[in-house]
Amino acid sequence: MGTGRLYAAVAASGFRRYATYRTATAAGVFTNSVFGLILAYTYLAVWNERPHLGGYDQSQALTFVWVSQGLLMTVAVFGGGFEEELIERIRTGDVAVDLYRPVDLQGWWLASDLGRALFHLLGRGVVPLVFGALLFPLALPASPLTWAAFVLAVGLGVVVSFAIRFVVALSAFWLLDGAGVAQLAGLTAVFCSGMLLPLNVFPGTLGEVVRLLPWSALLQAPVDVLLGVADPLPTYGFQIAWAVVLLGVGRLVQSAATRRVVVQGG
C-alpha cells in the first residue's frame, strides 16, 4: 500500500506541475484549434473526393481530426517532456540519485507521466473537441459506455507511448546526447500514430504494416474505439501486448544501463 500511495503522489505532482502553466495551456488549446480547423477543411476536401475513404464517412474523418488534436499532447506524440528531463539527468549524472532512491526508476517516471497525461487530457483535450463539435458535424457517440471505453483506450495508449519514450530516453546512457534519437522517435511517432494521416488511409501494405506497429496504439486505436470502428476488447489486447513488450524492453535496457553507471566523485 505504501508504494501505491507513493506512486499516486508522484502522479498527482505530475498533474500539478503541468496545471501550473495556465496561459501556456490556453495558448496550446488555441494552436490545436487552429490546426484542427485547417486539417478539418483539408479532410473534408479529401473525403469529398473519395467518400468512405479508409472506411470512414465524412463526419468520422472530421471526428478523427478533432479527437487527435485533443489527444496529441495526452499521448505525447511529439514527445512529452519527461524524456528531455531524464536525458538531462543521465547526461549530468543526476540519475545516480534517482537510482539509489527506494523507488523503481521506470515506475516513478510512469506515474509522473500518467499524471501529466491526465492533465493534458482535461486541459488540452476537451476544449478543442468542443470547439470542433460546435463548428463541424462530428460523429460522437451518445453512449457513456463508448466514452468510457475510449478513455480506457487513451490510458493504455499513454502507457505504450511512455514505454517507447522511456527506452528512447535511456539511450542517452550510451549516446549522452539523446536529442537526435528523441527527434527521430518523434518523427516516427507522428508518421506511424495516425497524427499525419489516419492509418486506414495509408495505401496497401504500408497501411497494414503501420497498423501493427506500437504507435498505432497511441492515437488510431483510441479514436477507432470512440468512432465504434474497432471493437474495444481486441484493441485493448493489442495495446496491452505492446505495453507489456515495450515496458519489458525498458526494464532490460534499464538493467543494462544501470550496470554501466559510474558515479563520478564529488
Partner 1 sequence: MYEGLRAYGLITAMWIRSTMAYRASFVMTTLGNFAATGLDFVAIMLMFSRIDSLGGYRLPEVAFLYGLSATAFGFADLVLGSMDRLGRRVRDGTLDTLLVRPAPVLAQVAADRFGLRRLGRIVQGVLVLGYAVVSLDLAWTPSKVLMVLLALLSGAAIFCAVFVAGAAFQFVAQDASEVQNSFTYGGQTLLQYPPTVFAKELVRGVTFVLPLAFVNWLPALYVLGRPYPLDLPAWLAFAPPLVAAACCALAMLAWRAGLRSYRSTGS
**CB of 99 or CB of 213, closer to partner 1:** 213
Query: Minimum Å distance from CB 262 to partner 1?
Result: 24
Pick one of 6, 175, 191, 240: the residue that binds partner 1 (CB under 8 A).
Answer: 191
Query: Minimum Å distance from CB 166 to partner 1?
Result: 21
Helix then strand count (H, E) for the chain reads: 13, 0
Pick one of 23, 143, 255, 264: the residue that binds partner 1 (CB under 8 A).
Answer: 23
Stretch that binds partner 1, among 8-16, 31-39, 99-107, 258-266 (CB under 8 A): 31-39
Pick one of 10, 11, 37, 95: the residue that binds partner 1 (CB under 8 A).
Answer: 37
CA proximity to 71, closest of 184, 194, 181: 194
Query: Minimum Å distance from CB 47 to partner 1?
Result: 9
* DSSP letters for 132-145: HHHHS-----S-HH
Helical H segments across 93-231, by residue range = 95-99, 105-120, 126-135, 144-170, 172-175, 179-193, 204-212, 220-227
Give the separation between CA 18 and CA 42, rounded to whole angstroms.
Answer: 32
Report the chain's C-alpha Rg in angstroms: 19
Pick one of 50, 101, 259, 260: the residue that binds partner 1 (CB under 8 A).
Answer: 50
For position 49 contacting partner 1 by CB under 8 A, the verdict is yes
Taking CB under 8 A as the criterion, which residues in 99-118 touch partner 1?
Answer: none
Pick one of 15, 202, 215, 242: the residue that binds partner 1 (CB under 8 A).
Answer: 202
Stretch that binds partner 1, among 10-18, 84-92, 138-146, 187-195 (CB under 8 A): 187-195
C-alpha cell at 177: 546526447
Number of CB atoms found within 10 A of residue 92's CB: 9
Query: Minimum Å distance from CB 25 to partner 1?
Result: 9
Residue carrying C-alpha cell 479532410: 43
